[in-house]
Structure 1
Amino acid sequence: MMKLQSPADTDSDSNSGTKAKLESPTRYIPKTLSPAPTCRRISARLYKQRLKITATLVLLSLYLVVNHLTCTMPPIRQNADLSQHTKTLFLPYVHKFSTQEIPMVRATISGNDFELPMDTGSTGIMIGAPRLPHISPDEGIPAYEYLSSSRILYGGRLVSQTITFHGVDGAYATATVPILVVDRSMVCPWYKPGVDGFHCPRIPHRPYPEPRDTSQIMYMGIGFGRNRLEHKKLKALPSGNPFLNINNINGEEVQTGAMRTGYTISTDGVYLGLTKENTKGFVFTDLERGVTTDPRDWAMVKMCFRLNDQGDNCGSALIDTGIPQMYLRTDVGVETPNVTVRNPNKEGEATWVKRVKPGTNIAIGFPSLEGREIVGYSFEVGTGMLMEPVYVVPESQGPPPYVNTGRNFLFGFSVVFDADGGRFGFRAVHPQHPQISHSSL
Structure 2
Amino acid sequence: MHRWVKETALGVGILAALAIPAAAAAAPACAIPAGGPSVTLPVVTPNGQAVEADPVRNAYRVNISVGGMAAHTVEVDTGSTGIVVPWTAVPPDLWKAAAGNPTHILYTSDNEYLHGRTIQATVALGVPKPPAGVAAAQPYPTTGTIDLMAADCVCKLDSTDSGGGTAQPRPAGGGSACGDLNGTRSDPQVNNSPLLNSCVPVDDGMGMMGVGYARGGRSSSMNSFLRLAAMDGGAMHPGYIITQSNIQLGLTGTNTTGFAFTQLTPSAMPAPSSHVKEWNEPPVTIAFQAGEPKPAPLTGSLLLDTGIADMLLTVPTAQRPGGLVVPGSSLGQKPPVIGDVVPAGTPFTVTVTNADHAPILSYQATMGGAPPSPTYGSWRGATATANAFNLGRHALAAANYAYDAQCGRLGFQQVAAKK
CA contact (8 A) 1:81 1:276 kept: no
Cα distance in structure 2, aligned partners of 1:157 and 1:126: 10
% of aligned pairs identical? 23
For residue 393 of structure 2, the aligned residue among 381, 400, 407 is 407
State the secondary structure of the residue aligned to 2:33.
coil
Distance 1:83 1:291, change over 3 A: closer
CA contact (8 A) 1:182 1:214 kept: no
Distance 1:115 1:93, change over 3 A: same
State the secondary structure of the residue aligned to 1:239.
helix
Cα distance in structure 2, aligned partners of 1:199 and 1:409: 38
User: Is it true that 1:226 corresponds to 2:215 in the alignment?
Assistant: yes
Using the TM superposition, name which of 102-111 and 172-181 deviates more.
102-111
Cα distance in structure 1, aligned partners of 2:139 and 2:258: 25
Distance 1:237 1:203, change over 3 A: closer
Correspondence 1:40-439 to 2 at 5 A: 81-83=31-33, 85-94=35-44, 95-109=52-66, 110-140=68-98, 141-166=101-126, 167-176=135-144, 177-188=146-157, 190=159, 196-198=186-188, 208-227=197-216, 234=217, 236-248=218-230, 256-294=233-271, 296-308=277-289, 310-330=295-315, 333-336=318-321, 337-342=324-329, 353-367=339-353, 372-382=358-368, 384-397=369-382, 398-430=384-416
CA contact (8 A) 1:106 1:116 kept: yes
> AA paired with 1:150?
D
> AA paired with 2:259?
F
Distance 1:153 1:307, change over 3 A: same
Using the TM superposition, name which of 369-378 and 355-364 deviates more.
369-378
Deviation for aligned residue 1:316: 0.5
Distance 1:344 1:131, change over 3 A: farther
**How many residues of Structure 1 are paired with residues of Structure 2 in the alignment?**
337
Deviation for aligned residue 1:98: 3.6
> AA paired with 1:156?
G
Structure 2 unpaired stretches of 5+: 1-28, 45-51, 127-134, 163-184
Cα distance in structure 2, aligned partners of 1:371 and 1:187: 44
Cα distance in structure 1, aligned partners of 2:410 and 2:157: 33
What CA RMSD, in Å, does the superposition of the two structures yield over aligned residues?
3.3
Deviation for aligned residue 1:385: 4.5
More helix by share: 1
Deviations 1:70-89 (A, max 9, x none): xxxxxxxxx96433550210
Deviations 1:382-423 (A, max 9, x none): 4x2441011111224433111111111111110100000010
Cα distance in structure 1, aligned partners of 2:354 and 2:287: 11
Higher radius of gyration, 1 or 2: 1
Cα distance in structure 1, aligned partners of 2:346 and 2:308: 21
Deviation for aligned residue 1:301: 2.5
Using the TM superposition, name which of 417-426 and 308-317 deviates more.
308-317
Cα distance in structure 1, aligned partners of 2:340 and 2:158: 16
Deviation for aligned residue 1:372: 4.0
State the secondary structure of the residue aligned to 1:146.
strand
> AA paired with 2:270?
T
Cα distance in structure 2, aligned partners of 1:417 and 1:332: 32
Cα distance in structure 1, aligned partners of 2:301 and 2:137: 39
Deviation for aligned residue 1:186: 1.6
TM-score, structure 2 as length reference = 0.71
Distance 1:87 1:386, change over 3 A: same
Cα distance in structure 2, aligned partners of 1:338 and 1:168: 45
State the secondary structure of the residue aligned to 2:241.
strand
> AA paired with 2:412?
F
Distance 1:420 1:217, change over 3 A: same
Cα distance in structure 1, aligned partners of 2:340 and 2:139: 46
TM-score, structure 1 as length reference = 0.68
Distance 1:392 1:265, change over 3 A: same
Distance 1:133 1:289, change over 3 A: same
Cα distance in structure 2, aligned partners of 1:165 and 1:298: 24
Distance 1:240 1:198, change over 3 A: farther
CA contact (8 A) 1:302 1:316 kept: yes
> AA paired with 2:63?
R
> AA paired with 1:88?
S
State the secondary structure of the residue aligned to 2:197.
coil
CA contact (8 A) 1:413 1:427 kept: yes
Structure 1 unpaired stretches of 5+: 1-78, 228-233, 249-253, 434-441
State the secondary structure of the residue aligned to 1:210.
strand
> AA paired with 2:283?
K
